[in-house]
Amino acid sequence: MRSRYKPWAIEYLKNNFKNQFSIGENEDFSSIEEYVLNRPTYLEIGPGKGQFILNLAKRYPEFNFLVIELDKSIAGTTLKKIDEAEIDNVKLIAGNFYDLAKGLKKSKFCGIFLNFSDPWPKKRHEKRRLTSPNFLIEYAKLLKEEGYIYFKTDNGDFYQYSYEEFNKFKRDIIYLNENYDCSNQDFDAETEFENRYKLQGIAIKRVILKKTKDTLLELPK
Ligand SMILES: C[S@@+](CC[C@H](N)C(=O)[O-])C[C@H]1O[C@@H](n2cnc3c(N)ncnc32)[C@H](O)[C@@H]1O
């Protein structure tokens, strides 16, 4: 997502830690592990400005939610919204999912949300796609037994690519809808991108996958 550089958001990120964890070099991950182990926890990678996760967190106070956002201006904007919501079950990390995955030793998530992830259409950028093999391996390690991946996209090619990759890693597809109309019910909520695409009449594709005992934990040979 292209975003405007917002100095106030970067400044906000530097100064506010009530709902923020850091994962810089030599950082101790124990407070993150504690948060994740404290309640059943869901992870969202690339939350954008946080509309989705705040909606879910308010409706499900019995769960914890953790979001990781690469773009610092977006992360600062989202953190401010989380702070203003005055809830205790959403925490944010400004950084790359890979650095979080590398540092976590004990945490296991009930589910991982991938909402309208950047499709990175060029082949040379495949490794950046959040459904490429290296990411799928990390998700398998971080999910509880029978943990879920919740995937939504507007992009047909990215959907096709992701569907094929999901299959290679042997997960059970428990829900698939190529014309999904989110009504902010069940365990879902509309995202900012989803609002935009729906207004343009673009079909939303949604898949939910469950980890099984056969799900690969290493790259297929
Ligand atoms: C296209 S936006 C979608 C935002 C939001 N989920 C929505 O649906 O409105 C994708 C977001 O994922 C973030 N992102 C991409 N790769 C990431 C990574 N490896 N770790 C953390 N965030 C990432 C981007 O910075 C961007 O804000």
The pLDDT tens digits of the residues spanning 94-106 come to: 999 999 999 999 9
Is residue 88 part of the annotated active site? The answer reads no
For a pocket test of ligand 1, which of 6, 23, 44, 45 has the largest count of ligand atoms closer than 8 A to its C-beta? 45
Burial class (CB in 10 A: 0-12, 13-18, 19+), 201: exposed
Rounded to the nearest whole angstrom, what is the distance from the C-alpha of residue 114 to the centroid of ligand 1? 8
pLDDT of residue 185: 78
Residues 6+ apart with CB under 8 A from 55: 184, 189, 190
Which residue's CA lies nearest to atom 11 of ligand 1?
46
Q: Residue 73, SS3? A: helix
- Superfamily in which the 108-221 domain is placed by CATH: Vaccinia Virus protein VP39 (3.40.50.150)
Q: List the chain domain ranges.
A: 1-107, 108-221
Mutate to test the pocket of ligand 1, among 1, 56, 192, 193 (most ligand atoms within 8 A of CB): 1
Binding site membership of 68 for ligand 1 (Cβ less than 6 Å)? yes
Tell me whether the CATH fold assigned to 1-107 matches the one assigned to 108-221.
yes
Is 70 exceeded by the pLDDT of residue 56? yes
pLDDT by residue (tens digit) across 58-78?
999 999 999 999 999 999 999
Which tens digit of pLDDT belongs to each residue from 162-179?
999 999 988 899 999 999
Cα 140 to Cα 120: distance, rounded to the nearest angstrom:
22
**Which residue is catalytic, options 71, 118, 181, 214?**
118
Say what the pTM is.
0.97
Task: Give SS3 for 28.
Answer: coil
Determine if ligand 1 sits within 6 Å of the CB of residue 182. no
Q: Which of 71, 92, 102 to mutate to test the pocket of ligand 1 (most atoms within 8 A of CB)?
A: 71
Tell me which DSSP letter residue 49 carries: T
Phi, psi of 114 (to 5 degrees): -120, 95
Q: DSSP for 135-157?
A: HHHHHHHHEEEEEEEEEEES-HH
CATH class of the domain whose range is 1-107: alpha beta
User: Using the 8-state DSSP alphabet, how is residue 204 labeled?
Assistant: P
69 vs 76: CA distance, rounded Å:
9
Strand partners, 205: 153
- Report yes or no: 162 and 132 within 8 Å, Cβ to Cβ: no
Yes or no: say if 51 and 190 are a contact pair by the CB < 8 Å rule: yes
- pLDDT of 1 reads 54
Q: What tokens were used for 98?
A: 């890979």
Ligand 1 neighbour 118 (Cβ under 6 A): yes
At 81 the three-state DSSP class reads helix
